[in-house]
Amino acid sequence: MLERTHVTAWVLAATLSAPLAMAQDASDPFAEVPNEAPAATTTSPDTNETTGDTAPASAEGAGDTAGSDDFGAEDDFASGDGSGSEDGFGSALEDEYGFDPADEFSSAEEPEDRDPWEGFNRAMFRFNDTADRWFLKPAAVSYRQITPIFMQTGVSNFFSNLREINNILNDVLQWKWGQAGNDTGRFLVNSTVGLVGLFDVAQHMGLEPSDGEDFGQTLAAWGAPSGPYVVMPFIGPSTVRDVPGVVVEWYTNPLTYVDDTTVEYSLKVVDLVQFRASLLQAESLLQGDRYVLMRDAYLQRREFLINDGEQEDDFGGDLDDYDF
């Protein structure tokens, strides 16, 4: 029995290290393409001829851009206004529509109020991003390239089914009895008929998956304030209110109670890799100051989940007096 345990550990270790080894030669389809500095054209005042020589300032600027940090303070987005007024885009919209959408739909809360620890958070974000680019992202890219789609779907369904336990617990704590019944039915059906969650049979029976509940949302339902935004090492974006949810989710995760430590952590690593792989396509859309984009996206997503998707729509408020 002891020899079999060692063999299982070696097999799992080899399985987890294979994607990292293959990632060394695999091309990343989501890699960022550096911007090339355009050649400056000059016009001779005597001959009116246009030359294609590159100005020294452009070459020097290109070198600065290639070596600059993605999180540098010189980014256009790092200024915090996000209006885009330098390129005239915001002013053009204001001339056309009579208002600037960036100002109209921006949060009323100032960035320094949401993110008073920005210096620390940027350092943690830079640390997490470095670890992600060297380890997690190559494994996720290899996972997407070598794993068939039906297997990726099955793995995603398996871990989503395990998270239903955490959803059910927080449904009950928030007195969402209808959603608790729906999530309980999904877990029971998919764990049995769906072969331990590999197939989402419950969805075809009218039990639709929810956006998920966690202890941070439960604390919000109990009236706890969110507190400042904080980036945690290896975990990522969060708020002071959401930090206890990380501890609670550790104990509500069924994988925590697996007797074999090797199997437990191996499954958790697979869950992390498949989750990271699901973000590759969305990551390719990030441009500019990634820290600000990730922060705002996280805070807006949390607000959406806490309110169960109910957003106050005041865009067409002036039209409510009219019947169509």
What is the residue-averaged pLDDT of the chain?
A: 75
H/E run at residue 171: helix 149-173
pLDDT at 224: 95
Same domain, 219 and 276: yes
- Is residue 173 domain-resident? yes
233 and 292 together in one domain: yes
Say how many Å lie between the first and final Cα of the chain, rounded. Answer: 75
- Find, among 160, 251, 293, 166, the residue nearest to 217 by Cα: 166
- Whether residue 29 is predicted with pLDDT greater than 90 in this model: the reply is no
> Is 207 a residue whose pLDDT tops 80?
yes
In a domain, 212, yes or no: yes
Instruction: Please tell me whether residues 85 and 155 are part of one structural domain.
Output: no
Residues 198, 84: one domain? no
* Greater pLDDT, 313 or 250: 250
Spatial contact of 305 and 176, defined as CB atoms under 8 Å apart: no
- Is there a contact between 50 and 41 (Cβ–Cβ < 8 Å)? yes
Q: What is the mean pLDDT of residues 91-116?
A: 56
Instruction: Please classify residue 213 by burial: count the beta carbons closer than 10 Å to its beta carbon, then call 0-12 exposed, 13-18 middle and 19+ buried.
Output: buried
> What's the pLDDT score for residue 321?
52
What's the pLDDT band for 134 if we cut at 50, 70, 90? very high
Question: What pLDDT sits at residue 76?
Answer: 45
Model-level pTM greater than 0.85? no
Residues 220 and 98 in one domain: no
Neighbours of 36 (CB within 10 A): 9
**Token couple for 74:** 């010189």
Number of neighbouring beta carbons within 10 Å of residue 167: 25
State whether 88 and 222 are in the same domain.
no
The answer to whether residue 137 is domain-embedded is yes
Residue at 315 is within a domain: no
- Mind listing the pLDDT tens digit for each residue in 266-284? 999 999 999 999 998 888 7
Q: How confident is the model at residue 122 (pLDDT cuts 50, 70, 90)?
A: very high
Q: Give pLDDT, residue 28.
A: 42
Q: Assess whether pLDDT exceeds 50 at residue 63.
A: no
Q: Read off the pLDDT band of 111 (50, 70, 90).
A: low
Report CA-CA distances (Å) from 79 to 69, 85, 291, 298.
Answer: 15, 12, 12, 19
Mean pLDDT of 105-118: 68
What's the structural domain count of the chain?
A: 2
Predicted confidence (pLDDT) at residue 86 exceeds the cutoff of 80:
no
Domain, as residue range, for 141: 110-309
Least confident of 61-75, 147-161, 301-315: 61-75
Examine residue 21 and state whether it is found in any structural domain, yes or no. no
